[in-house]
Amino acid sequence: VPYHAAETYQARLLQAGFSVVVCEQVGIPGESKGPLAREVTRILTPGTVTDDAFVEASDDLWIVAISQDAFTLSACFGSVGRGELVIHDRLDDTGLRALLSRMRPRECLTQSSPPAGFEGRIIETPAWHFTRDTLSRELERTYGVSDPSGLGLADVSETGLGATGALLTYLYDTQRTALVHFERPRIERSTHEVILDHTTQKNLELLSTLRGEKKHSLWWVLDRTATAMGSRELSRWITAPSCDNDAVRARQRTIHALIESGALSDLKGLLGQIGDIERIVARIGLGSAKPRDLTRLRDSLHAIPFVIERLTQTGDNNLLECAQRLNALPKTANLLTEALFEEPSLVISAGGVIRDGYDPELDRLRHFSVDANQMLLTMETEERERSGLSGLKLGYNRVHGYYFELTKAQLAQAEVPPHFQRRQTLKNAERFTTPELKTFEDQALSAESQALKRERLLYEALFPPLIDVISELKTLSQNLARLDALTSLATVARESHWIAPELTDTVEIQIEAGRHPVIERAHSTPFVPNDTHLTPEHSLALITGPNMGGKSTYMRQTALIVLLARIGSFVPAKAARIGPVDRIFTRIGASDDLAGGRSTFMVEMTETAAILAEATNHSLVLMDEVGRGTSTFDGLALAWASAERLSECGALTLFATHYFELTSLSESLESVFNIHLTAEVTGESIVFLHRVAEGPTSRSYGLHV
Ligand code: ADP
């Protein structure tokens, strides 16, 4: 285009939702021989342009990258005009939709299907743009820091990091220049969520143990769900505790009601008959649902009235409410019942999926073969009589179809009728066909293939009415998942004698005779219960005691009880009062990140630094033996400073240490107090009592251990 008119064309193209790649001559005429050098100088996209010529001054242009895995959905919004990146981590569908309608991004980077209701330009982005490696490279390029934790992104989920990486890559590729005016990515979070960063989720062994096994994780204790949807829901709950007391209490009330109702085992049985509606719905949406998916859906829908009835029978208001949220979609259930065989074949191409009586035409085609039997019998008798060959037999095989068979012995005695055509010669017999038999065979075969065609047509016609109710089905699966997760928590609570914690509005953690939910279940030896009392006045407990004394166990059990309380579950204790918590931080155990280029000590210090920077007086902090990986006095200094800082910010802290010197902090800092784990020495052996007692330990028992 003529260069002076370029802008008008560009504006029009952008307006129409296109991107524009601008190529220009960059060589200087006369200076070089041959054709002038040309280059791509700019890429204009509807969501990233900043020129006044293309964008209204009052408009903020946003672009979004969306990333999703089985459990989390995250989005990263970017504005080139504002130089801003905003991460919205761990969203749900509604949250994402609300954001999209609020921010109105012009472009959307995604690897899968575009979000519902999004009207802008979709940019299909390859999966490897949504990875941690890509992010590291982009962070290095834009901010000069490759580790996301260095930019305060330590607790962002993998999907959140992926979305940020993809967005930065796209911005860099289109702008073709360093994004120097960009601020650090900002995380916007729902204010109700207790934040658990990646390290904490790992250290507390929420979904899998440090060894990577599901067994002996918190999930392993809690998951007594009957459906896959329920199990996934429970996993989501475990990683997303809530500070919203009302929402949490509602779950508690339902769990309580489920226990009291005596309906738990009935409900479990009934829920067990329900399939993975959530996934089936996805396959229906993709048009890839198999016959057995639809019958599974049918059977699930039929099971729901029984669930509703059982919930209603209890007469409890909370459970009635659960029942009211379940919609058994009778019309859909009936359609599927009428249309499908009880046990259809696995694939539609094999036939045997659509029920007899559902479609007269299909019935007619199918019944041809039933009527055919009679016709064959008649034909056999007629030919016998006509030819006088009493041994004439009619048969069928897959390769040769229908035939009349005469043994060699019979052939020796009689003439073959003239209208018999030889088909196959066997050792002892000859097989023949006749024009009449041939016609019959053709009809039978075409009826069969027509029936299959008809059946496929009818099967495909089932999809539109199912797609019409897809949002109802999704709601149903969500409510079932929730009910199943609550039933699971109620089962665990009843069997393990857990109690409902009291949720308070003041910051505090008061646990009487608390136990570790996993160790209690995994070990046969009785668990020694212990109390925990953390309040703003006494916020930091310095824990001393021998190795193997139970310090880590005590700290973890406290964190797990708080977490359980915050997801609405009952807790393993005699009594508990749990106040609001904004984050749970953990600095536990040593782990090398040699692949990431960080030694044990570096990992420890990076994590400690993050905690000290971000903990508030609403946070729960677990610090296990900070300062071990260096010389004694360096370590002591680091531990000392960390404890001082945590006491200053008022975070509720459990601080386990081997530095006996630290125990004197309780004299200078009011909020610090000492507790220790008890052990007894008899002669040369040591017995761990695992009991928490007041005051510092008297000795370290290191040599005994
Ligand atoms: P530390 O951190 O002090 O070295 P741990 O917390 O790792 O000690 O505990 C060592 C072992 O003692 C654990 O494996 C656990 O099985 C057992 N243990 C800890 N606390 C208790 C308790 N309260 N009751 C029973 N066993 C416990």
Give per-residue pLDDT as tens, 140-193.
Answer: 988 888 888 888 888 899 999 999 999 999 998 887 777 777 778 988 876 677
Strand, helix or coil for residue 374: helix
Ligand 1 geometric centre to CA of 589 (Å): 14
Distance 464 CA to ligand 1 centre (A): 58
Q: Please, which residues have CB within 8 angstroms of residue 338's CB and are 6 or more apart in sequence?
A: 355, 358
Closest CA to 571 of 514, 529, 510: 514
Check pLDDT > 80 for residue 629. Answer: no
Which residue has its alpha carbon closest to ligand 1 atom 20?
550
Compute the distance from residue 312 Cα to the ligand 1 centre, in Å.
45
Instruction: Compute the distance from residue 543 Cα to the ligand 1 centre, in Å.
Output: 13
Nearest CA to ligand 1 atom 25: 527
| Burial of residue 163 (number of CB atoms within 10 Å: 0-12, 13-18, 19+) | buried
Smallest CA separation from ligand 1 atom 19, residue? 550
Which ranges constitute the DSSP H helices of 69-197?
93-103, 132-143, 158-175
CA-based nearest residue to 483, from 206, 233, 207: 233
- For the entire predicted model, the pTM comes to 0.71
Residue pLDDT, tens place only, 258-267? 999 999 999 9
pLDDT at 233: 87
How many angstroms is it from 445 CA to the middle of ligand 1?
Answer: 74
Atom of ligand 1 nearest to the CA of 553: 6
CA distances from 665 to 441, 586, 660 (A): 97, 21, 10
Q: Which residue matches tokens 């949504």? A: 130
Q: How far does CA 50 lie from the centroid of its chain? A: 37
pLDDT band at 617 (very low <50, low <70, confident <90, very high): very high
Ligand 1 centroid to residue 217 C-alpha, Å: 16
Averaged pLDDT score across all residues of the chain: 88
The 10 Å Cβ neighbour count of residue 508 is 18
Q: Per DSSP, what are the bridge partners of residue 44? A: 20
Q: Which of 542, 553, 675, 688 should be mutated for ligand 1, with most atoms under 8 A from CB? A: 553
The arithmetic mean of pLDDT across residues 225-230, rounded, is 90
pLDDT given for residue 192 in this prediction = 75
Identify the pLDDT of residue 126.
92
pLDDT of residue 59: 63
pLDDT at site 136: 93
Whole-number pLDDT of residue 286 = 61
**In terms of Cα–Cα distance, which of 22, 120, 107, 9 is closest to 54?**
9
User: Which residues on adjacent β-strands are paired with residue 676?
Assistant: 544, 693
Q: If you measure from the C-alpha of residue 511 to the centroid of ligand 1, how many angstroms do you get, rounded to a whole number?
A: 18
Q: Are 99 and 88 in contact (CB under 8 A)?
A: yes
**How far is the C-alpha of 705 from the C-alpha of 703, rounded, in Å?**
5
Q: Quickly tell me which residue has 């305060």 as its tokens.
A: 152
Ligand 1 centroid from CA 213, angstroms: 20
For residue 244, what pLDDT is reported?
A: 87
At 360, is the pLDDT very low, low, confident or very high (cuts 50, 70, 90)?
Answer: very high
DSSP 690: E
- pLDDT of 624 strictly over 70: yes
Would the pLDDT of 576 be above 60? yes
Q: What is the DSSP letter of 183?
A: P
Smallest CA separation from ligand 1 atom 15, residue: 550
> Quick check: 64 and 76 in contact, CB under 8 A?
yes
Q: In this predicted structure, what is the pLDDT of residue 390?
A: 80
* Phi and psi torsions of 195, nearest 5°: -85, 130
Judge contact between 432 and 422, C-beta under 8 A: yes
Amino acid 558: pLDDT: 97
Of 543, 690, 700, best ligand 1 pocket probe by most atoms within 8 Å of the beta carbon: 690
Within 6 A (CB) of ligand 1 lie 519, 527-528, 530, 545, 547-553, 690
Task: Tell me the pairing of strands 73-79 and 63-68.
Answer: antiparallel
Which range scores top for mean pLDDT: 83-87, 343-347, 617-621? 617-621
C-alpha to C-alpha distance for 394 and 413, rounded to whole angstroms: 19
User: Looking at ligand 1, which residue's alpha carbon is closest to its atom 16?
Assistant: 519
SS3 403: strand
Q: What percent of the chain has pLDDT over 90?
A: 46
Protein residue with its CA nearest to atom 13 in ligand 1: 550
Percent of the chain predicted with pLDDT > 70: 95
Taking the C-alpha atoms of residue 460 and residue 284, their distance in angstroms, rounded to an integer, is: 11
Range ranked top by mean pLDDT from 81-90, 199-208, 537-546, 610-619: 537-546
Cα separation, 135 vs 220, in Å, equals 33
Identify which of 524, 548, 688 to mutate to test ligand 1's pocket (most ligand atoms within 8 A of the CB): 548
Q: Provide the pLDDT for residue 593.
A: 54
Query: 552: CA distance to ligand 1 center in Å?
Result: 7
Closest CA to 78 of 105, 43, 117, 49: 105
